[in-house]
Amino acid sequence: MNERNDKLYLGYLASSHFIIHVFTMLLPVLLLPFQEELGISLVQLSLLSSIPRLINVFIYIPTGIISDQYPAQTLTASYFVTLLGALVIPLSNGFYALLAGFILLSTGSTLYHPPSLKMASSYDPSKLSLALGIHNIGSNIGFAAGPLLLGLFMSRSSWRYSFYVWAVFTLVMAVFSIGYTRRTLESGEKRKLNFLGDIRSIISRDFLLVVGVSTLIEAIFNVLVTYVPVYFTREIGLSYSLTSIISGLGPVAGILGSVIGGYAGDRYGKYKMGILVNAVLGGFLFIFPSMSTLITVVVIYALYRLLQASFMPLLNSMIASHSSLENRSLAYSFNFVLVNLFGSLSTTGASILIESYGTRVIFPVAIVAILPVCVLIWMLSHYPEH
């Protein structure tokens, strides 16, 4: 791969991930407009989030198996499905059309991630963590850009126009992907689909250790992302608007963290850096509750989000190193299923503890959960890579 193709490859990874995730953070912002403008009830609003997630659990494994056979077609299809969702939602005038639109967006994201992560993990092995970090940069930019454009249109005209703008960009990515992914992802003779055989082929002791790390860290991140803003308002007394502004630092810190994590993983080793990042993260979470001034709260919050983002390319690199390239999309899909299930349970469990002990309880809980993460990474480092 020459230098020009090298940059195009990495650019495609970041920009494609950006396009998929500009839609991810829009629903929370649109809950009240949907309720006021379309008369959507609170129960229906919750279903707009929960039903697509439930569907994802059932389609991730088949998606992984199919995308290992047809990665280019699966990746391209993800944009067209996302495009359809981006058009259905702004044309909706009721709950069922909105639900169909968000199911399409969620399905597009599900189709995208296994083949794109396989594509990122097929990059130069000496720069594997960096490639996965650049891939992760795109998602963080999308997290920030989606709500930003939505806010601009909501203040001037209608939320619907932001979907039309992103639909145009999604169409451009879909058309470009048709030819580009065939040149970069198509290879070899197709194997016969064997669902049970393929699933058995990825199950090994070292791979299950990676999945254990992933589910634990996702549970920690879900609890922190969900309840730290609540901690800001309840315990520190910050206003909703100020809390929202501080929370917006997350994607910005994530961009820098993705680069740092990717670079450090390749240079110093992903296992060593994974343990170090989590140990430092635990230290920040330990001192977080003692922070009282606004500036210290902002600094520690930004650093914690940077560390959180820096671990993701290291984790994805571990998954790649302990799964075969032949079934790597399936490996990522299997991991996503367990991550989604345990991630949902973790936020529910944390809410029960918060009701009994207050919002501050999330910090010791997260610190305790980080300890086995470090132990599992240390154990994983002693297994040979694929």
Q: Which amino acid is at 182?
A: R
Query: What's residue 241's pLDDT?
Result: 64
CA atoms of 314 and 269, how far apart (whole Å): 9
pLDDT of residue 186: 63
Phi/psi-derived region of residue 203, left when phi > 0, alpha when psi is between -120 and 50, beta in every other case: beta
The predicted structure's pLDDT at residue 379: 96
Q: What's residue 279's pLDDT?
A: 95
CA triple 52-57-58, angle to 5 deg:
100
H or E stretch at 145: helix 128-156
Q: Which CATH class, in words, describes the domain spanning 200-380? A: mainly alpha
pLDDT single digits (tens) 198-249: 677 788 899 999 999 999 998 898 888 778 887 888 888 877 667 767 777 7
What pLDDT sits at residue 191?
57
- Give CA–CA dist 334/328, Å, rounded: 10
Q: Which H helix or E strand runs over 386?
A: none
Dihedral sign, Cα of residue 304, residue 306, residue 308, residue 314: negative
Query: Does domain 3-189 sit in CATH 1.20.1250.20?
Result: yes
Most distant CA pair in the chain: distance in Å? 61
Using the predicted structure, report yes or no on whether residue 3 has a pLDDT greater than 60: no
Percent of the chain with pLDDT over 70: 95
pLDDT(197) > 70: no
pLDDT tens for each residue of 316-338: 999 999 988 888 888 898 888 88
Residues 6+ apart with CB under 8 A from 167: 83, 86, 87
- Return mean pLDDT, the chain: 87
pLDDT in the model for residue 82: 97
Structural contact between residues 171 and 49, judged by C-beta atoms closer than 8 angstroms: no
Residues 32-63 have pLDDT tens digits of: 788 888 888 878 887 888 888 888 888 988 89
- The number of C-alpha atoms within 13 Å of 159 and in the hemisphere containing its C-beta is 21
Q: Where are the domains of the chain?
A: 3-189, 200-380
Equal CATH topology for 3-189 and 200-380: yes
191 or 293, which is more confident: 293
CA distances from 123 to 141, 182, 204 (A): 22, 16, 24
